Structure 1
Amino acid sequence: MEKCFRRSVLLYTVVAAVLFSFVPVSISIPFILFHGIGDKCSGGVSNFTQLLSNLSGSPGSCLEIGNGENDSWFMPLIKQTSLACEKVKQMEELSQGYNIVAESQGNLVARGLIEFCDNAPPVINYVSLGGPHAGIAAIPKCDAGPFCAIAEDLMKLAIYNDFVQEHIAPSGYVKIPGQMSNYLEHSKYLPKLNNERPEERNSTFKERFASLHNLVLVMFQKDTTLIPKETAWFGYYQDEGFDTLLSTKQTKLYREDWIGLKALDVAGKVKFESVLGDHLSISDEEVGEYVVPYLMQSSM
Structure 2
Amino acid sequence: MRSIPILASLAASALASALPPKVTDTDSTQLPLVIWHGLGDDFEREGLKEVVELAESTNPGTYVHLIRLAEDGNGDRQATFLGNVTEQIAYVCDQLAADPILRTAPAINALGFSQGGQFLRGYIERCNAPPVHNLVTFGSQHNGISEFQSCSLGDWLCSGAEALLRSGRWTNFAQSRVVPAQYFRDPTDMEQYLEYSNFLADINNEREFKNEDYRKNLMSLNRFAMFMFEEDTTVVPKESSFFAEVNGTTGEVTPLHERPIYKEDWLGLRVLDEEGKLDFRTTPGQHMRLTEKVLKKTFEEYFAPLKGEQSTSSPGLVVQRAH
Could you state the TM-score of these two structures normalised by the residue count of structure 2?
Answer: 0.81
- Aligned partner of 2:225 in structure 1 is 216
What is the count of residue pairs matched by the alignment?
274
- Aligned partner of 1:155 in structure 2 is 165
Gaps of 5+ in 1: 1-22
- Aligned partner of 2:196 in structure 1 is 186
Q: Deviations over 1:176-204 (max 9, x none)?
A: 12100000001100011000001x21001
Are 2:113 and 2:137, in contact at CA under 8 Å, matched by a contact in 1? yes
Are 1:219 and 1:273, in contact at CA under 8 Å, matched by a contact in 2? yes
1:202 aligns with 2:211: yes
Q: Deviations over 1:206-254 (max 9, x none)?
A: 000011000111110000111111111111125xx54332112112111
- Aligned partner of 1:64 in structure 2 is 68
CA distance in 2 between counterparts of 1:225 and 1:190 reads 19
Gaps of 5+ in 2: 1-24, 313-323
Could you state the TM-score of these two structures normalised by the residue count of structure 1?
Answer: 0.87
* Secondary structure, counterpart of 2:42 in structure 1: coil
CA distance in 2 between counterparts of 1:254 and 1:167 reads 30
Are 1:34 and 1:106, in contact at CA under 8 Å, matched by a contact in 2? yes
Are 2:54 and 2:296, in contact at CA under 8 Å, matched by a contact in 1? no
1:46 to partner: Cα distance: 2.1
- Aligned partner of 1:109 in structure 2 is 119
Are 1:98 and 1:121, in contact at CA under 8 Å, matched by a contact in 2? yes
CA distance in 2 between counterparts of 1:33 and 1:81 reads 13
1:292 to partner: Cα distance: 3.1
- Aligned partner of 2:36 in structure 1 is 34
1:25 to partner: Cα distance: 4.9
The runs of at least 4 consecutive aligned structure 1 residues that moved more than 4 Å come to none
Q: Which amino acid aligns with 2:121?
A: R
- Aligned partner of 2:53 in structure 1 is 50
1:38 to partner: Cα distance: 0.8
- Aligned partner of 1:251 in structure 2 is 259
What RMSD over aligned residues (CA atoms) do the two structures have, in Å? 1.7
1:167 aligns with 2:167: no
1:93 to partner: Cα distance: 1.4
- Residues 297, 141 of structure 1: CA spacing in aligned structure 2 closer, same or farther, 3 A cutoff? farther
CA distance in 1 between counterparts of 2:305 and 2:240 reads 28
- Aligned partner of 1:15 in structure 2 is none
Q: Which amino acid aligns with 1:55?
A: T
- Aligned partner of 1:87 in structure 2 is 95
Are 1:116 and 1:205, in contact at CA under 8 Å, matched by a contact in 2? yes
- Aligned partner of 2:141 in structure 1 is 132
